[in-house]
Chain A
Amino acid sequence: MRQIVIALLANAGGVGKSTISTHIAYEISRRDYRVAMLDLDPQRSLDVFCGLPAADANLTTAEILSKDFKGDWSLIPVWDSKVEVCQGHPLLAEKANELVIRKRGEYSLADKLNKYPLPHNLIILDCPATLGMLNVNALAAATHILVPVQLEMKAISGSAELVEWCISTSDELQLDPRPPILGFVPSMYNETTAMHRQYLAQLPEIAERLGIKLYPKIRNSNEFKNASAYGLPLHKFRPSHPACKDFKSIVDDVIRLIKEK
């Protein structure tokens, strides 16, 4: 068994990062593994998805990135499950600026996770939709990257840039081993949208050229929105909804990684 740290990265907003984070977190926890989600987004999107009220800065990931963090993780259990969340805070944006001039600023999160290890089997880093210091920290701390790809031009361009960014940033940070991209996750897929169908058809060839796995699509459903309005994963909100099964392939892969020696 080993601890897996997955960074959910995207270079465009609203492409389904938090939806994917929360649902794989919940599903993996139901298979009896401990999962921690760290919200690195100054917009604290996980608060909504987990139905949590805003937390004070000293109880959030902003504290983890501060110089004085001494391993006092603020984790809150959610959804009656083995998932725990460290919430985000708007101060994260400021913290990110501070990191720019701090020694080993890019490795702040990685260093904290090393020095004060969490007992969880899986740590999910939910990242903001920009390629700034917070995402550099996520990259340096991650064992694997997961890239949601919404099948629209702006989001796809962002994903392409993100792949380049991962390579050059890993290079600059001299990460060894480099966190591989676990896969592209086509997200918010709508069968009735011609663009989604066409671009989904083009993705396998691109993924193959890049040597990146392509996961089955996650469908777009209003029930995801309804569930998040209640701060619940779809599995709890509508257990029989077919979209609950869309995450299985990712979840299987992650569990395989956790079980690896």
Chain B
Amino acid sequence: MARGLPQIVDKFKGAVQKTDQEQKITDLQAEIERLRTLQSPELETEISHLREQLQIQTGEIAIEIDLIDPNPNQPRQTITQESIQAKARLFKKHGQITPVILVPQNNGRYILLDGQLRWEGAKLLGWKTIRALIVPQPEDLEQSSLLTFLGFEDLNPLDKAEAIFKEVIKSTGFELDEITTSLASVLKRIERNNQIKELTKLLVCTSEEQKQGLEVLGIIGEDQALFSAFLEFGLNPASIKSNLLPMLSLPEDLKKSIRKKGLKGAHALALATLSSKTLKISEQEAATERIKATEKVLAENLNVPETRNLIKGIKARYLTSEKSESKEVKVGIQKISSSLSEISLANASREQLQSLHEILTQKLNEIGQLIE
């Protein structure tokens, strides 16, 4: 016989492993049942021991969906129907890959620490249970859930901003406008001194080093408490100021679009420039323009440069319409149409016609540029 072919046993390794695991679980379950029927005295301890083993087998347990309560301090305010459907689709296709994280309550129910979207998705699919890891009650549920979520890319910037400022207000005792002022004035100074890099470097330092670093940068007293709070969350104060803070002052229509329709932060900030102030129209009219533009951005899935272009066009429309009729041009139009009649043109010399042609071509170009 020719040389041996590759063995097929290896291909079945996963299947064998899974079969064995299933068998073990079935055996353990059978053992629990057996002990139950025996009503042996050591029943409870035996059962809890076996349950533990069962849990180790799978690493997590199935919890009834009905027993789960949402986290009242959930930083993620935005659950779009779309994102739930997307999650449900993923569940259908791949099953639940990561377990949700639950904190047991005294009443036998659980609070959701992590996995709101997974929980909603499972509910949509009509699942009875969801795979979960149970963790002990953290000291500060609000802060823990915030920390859990900060790493999540899909927490939208508005929710992120609100959650972060809520937490920072709570931990520092500052008002929002105090935070805004402090951020603005300190950062302005840091920028002027070209020290932004030094500030950014503090992100990866220990709390003690952060404190020293802030002092070196001349950030002391209440400002220091505030900057420390941001650094604690692994957040760069400079990016908070330019990216997250503006989220809080977005007009309501844009906030709603972020929450319900998945509008992105950068797009929202760009669209916010369609304000009554810049367009020189009423709040109402500005909102109408903004909503129209937002709908277009969402419907056509425009990227940021495309969005800015769209906005530029809208602004241009308002700025040009602002220029009312010019008398000189009006007279010019009349003059051209009367003095350049067909007959007068027919009687003009060739040189005259050529220079007229030149002038008109140049004017046409100028007009064209203004109209575009």
Bound complex: CA A114 to CA B203 (Å): 60
Bound complex: CA A133 to CA B23 (Å): 26
B5 x A199 contact (CB < 8 A): yes
Closest chain B residue, CB of each to CB of A103: B126
**Cβ-based interface call for B22 (8 A):** yes
Residues of B within 8 A of A202 (CB): 7-9
Residues of B within 8 A of A199 (CB): 5, 8
Residues of B within 8 A of A195 (CB): 5
**Cβ-based interface call for A164 (8 A):** yes
Closest chain B residue, CB of each to CB of A170: B22
**Cβ-based interface call for B166 (8 A):** no
Closest chain B residue, CB of each to CB of A162: B15
- Given A100-B92, A194-B1, check contact A160 B125 (CB 8 Å): no
Closest chain A residue, CB of each to CB of B85: A101
B window 1-36: CB within 8 A of A: 1-2, 4-9, 11-12, 14-16, 18-19, 22-23
**Cβ-based interface call for A198 (8 A):** yes
**Cβ-based interface call for B221 (8 A):** no
**Cβ-based interface call for A153 (8 A):** yes
B9 x A206 contact (CB < 8 A): yes
A window 148-174: CB within 8 A of B: 153, 156-157, 160-161, 163-164, 167-169, 171-172, 174
B18 x A168 contact (CB < 8 A): yes
Residues of B within 8 A of A105 (CB): 92, 125
| Chain A residue total in the interface (Cβ 8 A) | 31
Choose one: A133, A163, A172; the contact of B12 (CB below 8 Å): A163
A174 x B128 contact (CB < 8 A): yes
B8 x A156 contact (CB < 8 A): yes
Bound complex: CA A194 to CA B126 (Å): 50
Bound complex: CA A133 to CA B15 (Å): 21
Residues of B within 8 A of A203 (CB): 8
Residues of A within 8 A of B72 (CB): none
Bound complex: CA A157 to CA B10 (Å): 9
> What 11 new A-B contacts, CB under 8 Å, besides A104-B126, A163-B15?
A100-B93, A157-B11, A161-B15, A164-B18, A168-B18, A169-B95, A172-B95, A194-B2, A195-B5, A198-B4, A210-B19
In the A-B complex, list the 6 residue pairs whose CB atoms are closest, starting with the nearest. Answer: A163-B15, A160-B11, A160-B12, A100-B92, A172-B95, A167-B18
Q: Which residues of B contact A (CB under 8 A)?
A: 1-2, 4-9, 11-12, 14-16, 18-19, 22-23, 85, 88-89, 92-93, 95-96, 125-126, 128-129
Sample of 30 A–B contacts (CB below 8 Å): A100-B88, A100-B89, A100-B92, A101-B92, A103-B125, A103-B126, A160-B14, A160-B15, A161-B14, A163-B12, A163-B18, A164-B15, A164-B18, A167-B15, A167-B19, A168-B18, A168-B95, A169-B95, A194-B1, A194-B2, A194-B5, A199-B8, A202-B8, A202-B9, A206-B8, A206-B9, A206-B12, A209-B12, A209-B19, A210-B16
Q: Which residues of A contact B (CB under 8 A)?
A: 100-101, 103-106, 133, 153, 156-157, 160-161, 163-164, 167-169, 171-172, 174, 194-195, 198-199, 202-203, 205-206, 209-211
